[in-house]
Structure 1
Amino acid sequence: MTEGENTGPGARNGETDSTAVNAFNRGVIDEFRANAGRVGGKFEGFTLALLTTTGARTGIRRTTPLAYFELNGMRAVVASAMGGPRHPAWLANVRARPQVSVKVGAESFDALASIPSGIERDRLFAQVVEQDPEFGDYQASTSRVIPVVILQRLSSPSVPPFEGERARLVAWAAELRQVHDRLRQALRVAQDSAAQGRSPEVAGRELLLFCHGFCTALTGHHEGEDRELFPAIAAAHPELRDTLRYLQQDHSMIAHLVSGLQSSVDASATPVELARHLEGIAAIMESHFRYEERQLLEVLETLALDADPKRVLGPL
């Protein structure tokens, strides 16, 4: 694994421009490499990883020491930045160029990074806090949602590694399909619950819990697409801008429907009314998902097949 000079974040948690922190991190990296991943001092007993990313704008390789977790068999790091108000800079690199290199102990491997959102992110972050409660303190100290980054190992050395544009296209499409499937499942569960004829009080409590998770996840998913993902896709592939604009219009309509669902729950609507409302939202959401999968995700996957793996896109 080729690794660049570290210029970045706090050894367990984030990234700053502090010269002192940079020097400290270089010492952590040197000690890590010299001792097969074992680091003493305040990090003794913790499992660390060296994550090497490629600069989103510069193309320069940077190595960052981070706390390492295994969550349900998945490898993960966390972009906590010690609870700071901004995401660490390495996260922008991962979003732009999701192929990374990882070193844990004496093991080195390439991986494809993905960033779960909504309910899935919350579930994974809860597991992080179970393993290290300090990360719960970091989340409590900031208004931003601290991302969990999953590192899917690229295990076959005979397969050329994803790189450049191809990696981004594959990661975008794969992550969106996973989010769609999770949201579909959440809607199905809520519809089944509403259709079982429970009392208004019980149905209201269940729908209130559903809204807290589903509505927050859906809103965060669409806001993330509008704010970060869609502009990145449009910059790389201007021919998709009309499709992206249509999807953003859908987002506004869906946000109105979700607001209506929340109002119905707050007004203690009957189970029949709630079931009817959910049925309408589910139909519109499925139409939206299918359009996005056909007009955007399938196009991204086709572009990935056609992409020149040596091509380097400009900065996003």
Structure 2
Amino acid sequence: MLLLTTTGRRSGRPHTTALGYYPDGERLLVVGSALGADQHPDWFHNLQANAEVTVETGVFTYEADAVPLEGAERDEVFARLVEADAGWGEYQAKTSRTIPVVALVQRQAGPPGGADSFAELLIKVHKTFRRELELIRAEVAASGTAGLGAQLRINCLTLCQGLHNHHTGESMGLFPGLRELHPELATEIDALQAEHDQIGVRLEALEKLLSEPSPDLATEVDRLADLLIAHLDHEEAALLSYL
């Protein structure tokens, strides 16, 4: 999930929207589905008027150009997105408008907004997970028994993949390094690794529920949220002073 900030085409004020996204080489792709409504979402109208946007991925914040894909390129990319999640095709079938696909292209090389230390980076990543989890929690609660739309499914899957990648990196890199430098942390690191394993079980359970409507989805999201928030708090208390 990312936060996309556009400039209001009438007000001139910044407007921020949370969107699921697909990495595509050096650019990110977002979809203006509006759940299959007959009107484009406001954020798309805004970027048509002013293509300069701000993208927040959690770790990095940067300025980007928003480029709506056109013609054969749009059709080819949208077909790939439908293959990844049939919900996008369902939304397109609901409306006569062509659902836009927008490429977000970073305006300068490198990771502006990056962290100056690993401690700062960890805090930024954790802040993003907390924010995304609360957004998804609210979206799942609001969806009720209607089932998940494609946008919410991709938001959930993005969170699951992000957590998996983050914890894999910690387990394979950060934790072994800290064990070597600070043997006194062994007990804490063992406990944090056990929490990673528990969160992994909850992520697998959540991913299974995303394929079709389930009354258990909200409960599973709550279980993951409670476990993850406790883990993030524990990790920060245990490790930040050593990073």
**Shift in Å, 1:175:** 1.0
Q: Are 1:217 and 2:162 matched, yes or no?
A: yes
Among 300, 303, 310, the alignment partner of 2:242 is 300
1:150 aligns with one of 111, 114, 122: 111
Residue 192 of structure 2 corresponds to residue 254 of structure 1: no
Out of 243, 251, 257, the position equivalent to 2:188 is 243
- 1:117-266 equivalences under 5 Å are 119-120=57-58, 127=64, 150=111, 171-201=117-147, 203-266=148-211
Q: Which runs of 5+ in 2 are unaligned?
A: 1-25, 27-55, 68-108
State the Cα RMSD in Å. 3.3
Q: 2 CA distance for matches of 1:274 and 1:205?
A: 15
Structure 2 distance, partners of 1:211, 1:123, is 21
- Would the aligned equivalents of 1:119 and 1:213 in 2 still touch at CA under 8 Å? no
User: What fraction of aligned residue pairs are identical, expressed as a percent?
Assistant: 25
SS at 2:111 equivalent: strand
On the 8 A contact 1:190/1:210 being kept in 2, the answer is yes
Cα deviation code 1:83-135 (max 9, x no counterpart): 9xxxxxxxxxxxxxxxxxxxxxxxxxxxxxxxxxx9546986x95997xxxxx
8 Å CA contact 2:171–2:193 kept in 1: the answer is yes
Structure 1 unaligned segments of length 5 or more: list them: 1-82, 84-117, 131-147, 154-166, 302-316
Rounded to whole Å, the distance in 2 between the matches of 1:196 and 1:264 is: 17
Runs of 4+ residues deviating >2 angstroms:
118-124, 126-130, 148-153, 197-201, 203-207
Count of aligned residue pairs for this structure pair? 149
Amino acid at match of 2:150: R
Cα displacement (A) at 1:242:
1.7
Match of 2:142, SS? coil
Cα contact 1:222–1:251 (8 A) shared by 2: yes
Question: CA 1:152–1:281 in structure 2 vs 1: closer, same or farther (change >3 Å)?
Answer: closer
CA 122–211 in structure 1, closer or farther in 2 if over 3 Å, else same:
farther
Instruction: Tell me: CA distance 1:127–1:230, structure 2 relative to 1, closer, same or farther (3 Å).
Output: farther
2:105 is aligned to none
- Cα offset, 1:206, TM superposition: 4.0
In the alignment, the residues of structure 2 paired with residue 212 and residue 292 of structure 1 have an alpha-carbon distance, to the nearest angstrom, of 23
CA contact under 8 A between 1:119 and 1:217: conserved in structure 2? Answer: no
Equivalent-residue separation in structure 1 for 2:172 and 2:110 (angstroms): 19
Residue of structure 2 equivalent to 1:287: 230
Offset at 1:205? 3.0
Distance across 2 between alignment mates of 1:226 and 1:259? 18
Change beyond 3 A, Cα 1:275–1:232: same
Is the contact between residue 234 and residue 240 of structure 1 (CA under 8 Å) also seen in structure 2?
A: yes
TM-score between both structures, scaled by the size of structure 2: 0.52
**Compared CA separation, residues 190 and 242, structure 1 to 2 (3 A):** same
Shift of 1:150: 3.4
Q: Using a 3 Å threshold, how does the CA distance of structure 1 residues 206 and 200 change in structure 2: closer, same or farther?
A: farther
Contact 2:129 2:159 in 1 (8 A): yes
Q: 2:217 aligns to what?
A: 274
